[in-house]
Amino acid sequence: MGKVGVKLAVGCAVAACVVASVMVGRRVRRKRAWRRVVKVLEELEEGCATPVARLRQVVDAMAVEMHAGLVSEGGSKLKMLLTFVHNLPSGSEEGTYYSLDLGGTNFRILRVQLGGQRSAIIGHDVDRQPIPQHLMTGTSEELFDFIASSLKDFVEREENVSEHSQSERRELGFTFSFPVKQTSSSSGILIKWTKGFVIEDMVGSDVSECLQQAISRKGLDMRVNALINDTVGTLALGHYHDEDTVAAVIIGTGTNACYLERADAIIKCQGLLTTPGDMVVNMEWGNFWSSHLPRTSYDIDLDADSPNPNDQGFEKMISGMYLGDIVRRVILRMSEELDVFGPVSSKLQVPFILRTPLMAAMHEDDTPDLREVAQILRETLEFPDIPQNVRKLVVRVCDVVTRRAARLAAAGIVGILKKIGRDGSGGIASGKNEGASQSKMRRTVVAVEGGLYTNYTLFREYLNEAMTQILGEEIAPSVIVKVMEDGSGIGAALLAAAAASHSTSSVDTVQIL
């Protein structure tokens, strides 16, 4: 071999070594980057961990905060709002009742026929209508005249004149999903508008009276005899179907809970309530907070970027509004560690672009190659083809975030049961509870509504599993979670029926101490 040939061979060998060295270096760097990505997942798992011992701490904290909120106004992160609802539907109600559900840019009118036997809802008719944009910023009279006109048209369309006795007044339950200070079971003062409504002349006014006046102006013989929010409606619907229902929880885009409390346990109103027995308390539990909640840097950043920082902390960890965005933030962090996602997509920087239904679809993707995960990442976040190992990583992130949310929601529910002595422990600061041996065996039903629980199978399974773990095998069979549908509509009509049958025992307005 000549000198030229030797030099060429040496050059080729050197080049091969350089290429090999570069390839090895890339593999090493990629492995290191992958380890950093896996480390992000491990840190997430550690930060979101919800062992049973921690969940029981959350249970205790929830029960303590509930008690504090009943002692004094502002004494707890939980508002523990009085609803003045003492009489839940018993199942014996019969007749035809109406409800109006106003919670956003649409409203619904329902007509519910009851057969006088538990669970005998003979039928119900529904009319849904949008609210014209100009009425959302007009006057209260314009808004409620429009609603009352629609209500009158609905009544006339659905009712035959012969059906309705001239001496019989129609009863209406009103679900009003805006901040209200309840003053009786059928009245409340509007604190502020949300969801795009700006009707200044109504703030500080009784919302039921505004509706009642509009109904009267339209010549419709109908009385607003129940003012509620959707959670109370869910409890009413649950109690109508099953008298052992003591609490209701909504877990959907937002979350809230209410329950039946003994009137004598509501210390901030002690001596002022004229009706003994039980009262429904609206917890507004989305604002619950405890140092025992497993909070991560992603939760902290989400809260800081939200329109209401340091508010609704529990809701931001468990509700459908936020779970998808927590996952987005984790994926963003991972994409910064490893270029397997490709260049960081500008879409990934957009808050709430990954909605929780899409996150749930990725989590529950059962295709062998996780093709739905790849499709959602491509179409929503503009990632190119994602390797299968990265798809599995994304599914794992969804699982960690969802599992934490479901298990914390379960702890919140058991916290309610602990407060009223239905968890087998005898209750907390409740004075006259039954002994633990009795409460262990007492059947208890919790009504649940909301798409996160009803439509997201893995969320539901994680929640139910956690409740069993917290309560223990002896108590858990006595606690039943029942799915409800349309508490804000049917539930309001049922409360109108219950109020009509107990009209002589209504509660006067009270001043909170």
Distance CA 9, CA 20 (A): 16
Instruction: Enumerate the active-site residues.
Output: 195, 230
Q: Beta strand 245-251 with 121-130: parallel, antiparallel or unpaired?
A: unpaired
Q: How far, in Å, are 96, 108, 156, 240 from residue 120 at the CA level? A: 12, 22, 24, 9
Angle subtended by helix axes 207-217 and 140-158, to nearest 10: 60
Which helix (H) or strand (E) covers residue 423, if one does?
none
> In 3D, which of 211, 95, 202, 197 has the Cα closest to residue 147?
211
**CB of 422 closer than 8 Å to CB of 444:** yes
CA atoms of 247 and 409, how far apart (whole Å)? 13
Sign of CA dihedral 152, 158, 163, 169: negative
- Separation CA 499–CA 173 (nearest Å): 9
For 293-358, give the secondary structure using H, E and C. Answer: CCCCHHHHHHHHHCCCCCCCCCHHHHCCCCHHHHHHHHHHHHHHHCHHHCCCCCHHHCCCCCCHHH
Q: What are the residues whose beta carbons fall under 8 Å from the beta carbon of 280, sequence distance 6 or more?
A: 83, 85, 86, 88, 232, 235, 258, 259, 260, 261
Q: Which residues contact 373 (CB under 8 A, 6 or more apart)?
A: 362, 365, 386, 391, 394, 395
Joined together, the tokens standing for residue 243 give 């008298």
According to DSSP, the residues that pair with 280 across neighbouring strands are 260
Residue 493 tokens, joined = 């009509």
Q: Find residue 175's DSSP bridge partners.
A: 101, 228
- Ranges of H-type helices in 371-471: 371-381, 388-419, 436-441, 451-454, 457-471
Cβ neighbours for 18, distance < 8 A, ≥ 6 positions apart: none
For 296, which DSSP code?
-
The answer to whether the beta carbons of residues 346 and 319 sit under 8 Å apart is: no
Helix (H, G, I), strand (E, B) or coil at 77: coil
What is the dihedral sign for C-alpha 507, 268, 491, 189?
positive
Longest distance between any two alpha carbons in the chain, whole Å: 120
d(CA 223, CA 452): 35
DSSP 8-state symbol, 293? S
